[in-house]
Amino acid sequence: MNHSNVQIVIVLGSLSRTKIYTAHYNGRHIAIIPRPRCRVPFLFSLTLFCNAFLLFQVQPIVGKMLLPKLGGTPAVWNTCMVFFQAALLAGYAYAHATSKWLGSRRASLLHLVVLLFPLIVLPVVIGDDAFRSSAATDNPVLLVLGQLALAVGLPFFVVSTTAPLLQRWFADTGHPSAHDPYFLYAASNLGSMLSLLAYPILVEPQLALDRQSWFWMWGYVLCALLVGICAMTLRGKPQTQPEASVSNPPATPETLTWKRRLRWIFLAFVPSSLLLGCTTYISTDLAPIPLLWIVPLALYLLTFIIVFAKRPWIPHELSCRILPISVLVLTLLLVLGANQIRGLPFWALLLVHLLALFLTALVAHGELARDRPHTEHLTEFFLWMSVGGMLGGMFNALLAPVIFQRTGLTEYPLALVLACLIRPTPKSVSRFDAWDGLLPCLIGVLAVGMWFLTRALDLEPGPVRNGLVFGVPGLLVFTFADRVVRFGLGIAVLFLVSAINVDDKQLTLERNFFGVVRVVETHSSDGIRFRQMIHGNTLHGQMSLDSVDADGRHEPLTYYHRTGPIGVVCEKWAGSKPGRVSVGAVGLGTGSLAYYARPGDEWSFYEIDPAIERIAADSRYFSFLSECRAARSGVILGDAYLRLQEAPEGSFDLLVLDAFSSDSIPVHLMTREAVALYRSRLKPGGLMAFHISNRYLNLRPILAKLAEDAGFVARVWRDSPTDEQKKLGKTESAWVIMAAREEDFGALVGSNSRWERIEARPDTPLWTNNFSNLLSALGR
């Protein structure tokens, strides 16, 4: 080998000094690059880490900015998520186009200019003007998308371009690791995961929202400087051919087929859809613990770190072996339903769901990592991955609530079926034959036959019936584990059979952007029949089917019982006022509170979910609204924070805030600004009542702090029913009442009163539209 034309290229002074020798290899003129120092990989890894950290910080910041303006609705969060996924796709498309058409060096110069544009709109601020001009009942999707595009579209787009661009640039640095720069993707996802964990634990508790935006801006400036330094490492490179090194000699150009691209999309689609399906299920049907959604997303990001590391921590073959076991166990839990698995501890159920998600993402992303193309197609590879992820998010967030309105969270089982198809087919097994379709059908026939047999034998739901209907077919499905398609169809059959095994007492089900609402009939241990409204697994009210009062009306039960806190407020305080009483109630539920309306009173209910309004107003299910005696009553649809702004000042004698018992609380309804709004809508001497029953959050100190800030006095009553009252439908509840003066409580605070005065603690934070922290209320 003849070494000639020796030259010294100095990149960034002390960053690296690399001798580049030109030589001939198999008749080709290439560059021979000795191993440089390890500073270049560290620089690129650090930059990608910071960039990903910023990417996952701006999303909750912007989401929190929108909440007081459009309300704490899932539709807002879903729309934000779709916007960010679309912007991410646009960023990846930009990275692919510039790298392909301009090459790394010229693309880096262009990108240095593009990095300056976001400074025009930073720090991120979302104004109120556009939202004031929009009616509260309008569909907020276009408005949210437009405001997001104006406020954060440019910064998010530019930040999203960095991950694929920097990996492509690193491939052209000539570093020995440049032939396979995908390990940098692990650094990027590590930044994403740590950012995800840092926001609720470190950022949100310490910084107000406006300061978060300013810190994000300076973080962007720092990241832009790091990107600029990375771009300077490309100076002096004569060509963008990273394969021209001794460690990676020139290879035959790789051609991508559409079959391969579609496979990338599918492998990205499945875990993305499963992530949202799993998060929705465990956050509503399993345990609606605030911030629980962080855990599945962190596991999802962790799989990218594992599979794109230089040495994956978990063997891919092992993941493929365990996946069918995990999916089958989860399938059996889902088809049996919550009533049949009550004895299992919460942590065990949660672990089954998270393990299935983790293994599915690990296998799917592992297949993507194993099939990653040569660096010349790096940006296109990430582009198609982004397409799959966006399609998975759009399917769950936008299409599923429309398609599966009457079937609940059907996208979750569907994603589990697709998860069975992502595993590679063993070489010793043919891909598909007729038995792959026939045998699952036969198992379905067997399961249906078992179901009819158990009905004929009058077997009650239990281990024997479940074992015959699902246990035996499930074991047969497990024998298909090595046959990818056959196993997937077997799982699908189990879910289809479960459709006939539904609870006969479920009267209706509706689903929309706000969740799944069911009406079911149940009975107490004494045989008293009740009709309940359930949102996820949170009870929103019930009505006795076996008893009425002396006037033939159904009495309120659960949290609204006549002997409970709100019952006493309505009958002893509001009921004792002379003349017409005007009451506003935020949160409709079954309409139980309407029972307390007197002839001549005016009652206004504020409800954000149209499905709940339809069910509560339908006398086939609940009669509280139809039996209401108020002279004027009605339901005002929309977010209460916005709709109350339309009410005249001094409208209500009593304002009931009943929107905090579902564990996923609308924080924007419990802030300084919200309390000021409520106060302005009260008449002199008026009263506010907050329902704070919650399994995971202690909202009492938060309200005490708000009362102190507003100059109010506050009292709390935590009511625990007796065993006999529980049988009659009363449940435990906690309520806080506020008034401007102690005298305004009237007869509620007599000598035998159960209303205890509460005082604010010095360490309790004051929640505002600019600052709130759920961790401060979690388990206090």
Q: 687 by DSSP, 3-state: which?
A: strand
Share the mean pLDDT of the chain: 82
Q: What per-residue confidence (pLDDT) applies to 78?
A: 65
Percentage of the chain with pLDDT > 90? Answer: 34
State residue 697 phi and psi, 5-degree precision: -110, 135
Q: What per-residue confidence (pLDDT) applies to 26?
A: 52
Q: State the pLDDT confidence band at 6, using cuts at 50, 70 and 90.
A: very low
Cite the beta strand spans of 524-630 per DSSP E: 529-535, 538-544, 582-586, 602-607
Nearest to 307 by CA among 255, 230, 368, 349: 368
Q: What per-residue confidence (pLDDT) applies to 143?
A: 77
Write out pLDDT tens, residues 90-109.
998 998 888 888 887 888 88
Q: What per-residue confidence (pLDDT) applies to 567?
A: 93
Sign (positive or negative) of CA dihedral 369, 373, 374, 376: negative
Q: What per-residue confidence (pLDDT) applies to 659?
A: 81
Q: State the pLDDT confidence band at 601, using cuts at 50, 70 and 90.
A: very high
> In this structure, what is the dihedral angle of CA atoms 689, 693, 697, 700, given to the nearest 10 degrees?
40
Residue 477 above 50 pLDDT? yes
Q: What per-residue confidence (pLDDT) applies to 532?
A: 92
Residue 266 above 90 pLDDT? yes
How far apart are alpha carbons 702 and 127 in whole angstroms?
Answer: 27
Of 235-244, 264-273, 308-317, 675-684, the least confident: 235-244
Structure tokens at 597: 């309306």
Sign (positive or negative) of CA dihedral 302, 308, 312, 314: positive
Span 13-40, mean pLDDT?
50
How far apart are alpha carbons 125 and 739 in whole angstroms?
Answer: 35
Residue 243 above 70 pLDDT? no
Q: Tell me if 602 sits within 8 A of 633, measured CB to CB.
A: yes
Q: Tell me if 415 sits within 8 A of 277, measured CB to CB.
A: yes
Q: State the pLDDT confidence band at 129, using cuts at 50, 70 and 90.
A: low
State residue 37 phi and psi, 5-degree precision: -70, 165
Q: What per-residue confidence (pLDDT) applies to 267?
A: 95
Q: Tell me if 299 sits within 8 A of 358, measured CB to CB.
A: yes
Residue 16 above 70 pLDDT? no
Q: Tell me if 759 sits within 8 A of 720, measured CB to CB.
A: no
Q: What per-residue confidence (pLDDT) applies to 533?
A: 92
Span 761-774, mean pLDDT?
87
Q: State the pLDDT confidence band at 265, using cuts at 50, 70 and 90.
A: very high
Give this prediction's pTM: 0.80
Write out pLDDT tens, residues 156-213.
999 999 888 888 888 877 777 777 787 787 888 888 889 988 988 889 888 888 899 9
Q: Which residue has the higher pLDDT, 31 or 621?
A: 621
Q: What per-residue confidence (pLDDT) applies to 512?
A: 78
Residue 458 above 90 pLDDT? no
Residue 336 above 70 pLDDT? yes
Q: What per-residue confidence (pLDDT) applies to 249?
A: 37
Residue 479 above 60 pLDDT? yes
Q: What per-residue confidence (pLDDT) applies to 627?
A: 93
- Using CB atoms within 10 Å of the CB of residue 741, give its burial: 0 to 12 exposed, 13 to 18 middle, 19+ buried: exposed
Tokens 């459009």 identify what position? Answer: 70
Q: What per-residue confidence (pLDDT) applies to 13?
A: 38
Q: What per-residue confidence (pLDDT) applies to 74?
A: 57
Structure tokens at 361: 């993402």
Span 334-343, mean pLDDT?
66
Q: State the pLDDT confidence band at 18, using cuts at 50, 70 and 90.
A: very low
Span 453-465, mean pLDDT?
74
Q: What per-residue confidence (pLDDT) applies to 715?
A: 94
Tokens 């998270």 identify what position? Answer: 354
Span 81-88, mean pLDDT?
84
Q: Report which listed range, 17-21, 96-100, 139-143, 687-691, is most confident.
A: 687-691
Q: Report which listed range, 19-28, 140-149, 401-410, 573-582, is most confident.
A: 573-582
Tokens 């995908």 identify what position? Answer: 182
Span 626-654, mean pLDDT?
90
Of 144-148, 369-373, 683-687, 701-705, the least confident: 144-148
Residue 356 above 60 pLDDT? yes
DSSP bridge partners of 756: 716
Q: Which residue has the higher pLDDT, 46 or 285?
A: 46
Nearest to 387 by CA among 368, 401, 370, 400: 368
Residue 61 above 70 pLDDT? yes
Span 750-760, mean pLDDT?
83
Of 218-227, 255-264, 637-646, the least confident: 637-646
Write out pLDDT tens, residues 516-535.
888 998 887 777 889 999 88
Tokens 């880490």 identify what position? Answer: 49
Q: What per-residue confidence (pLDDT) applies to 19?
A: 46
Nearest to 497 by CA among 550, 549, 441, 543: 441
Contacts for 264 with CB less than 8 Å, ≥ 6 apart: 368, 371, 381, 384, 385, 388
Tokens 């090595």 identify what position? Answer: 482
Residue 577 above 70 pLDDT? yes
Span 504-512, mean pLDDT?
81
How far apart are alpha carbons 632 and 411 in whole angstroms?
Answer: 42
The runs of H, that is alpha helices, within 711-741 are 723-727
How far apart are alpha carbons 389 and 383 in whole angstroms?
Answer: 10
Q: What per-residue confidence (pLDDT) applies to 15?
A: 41
Residue 387 above 80 pLDDT? yes
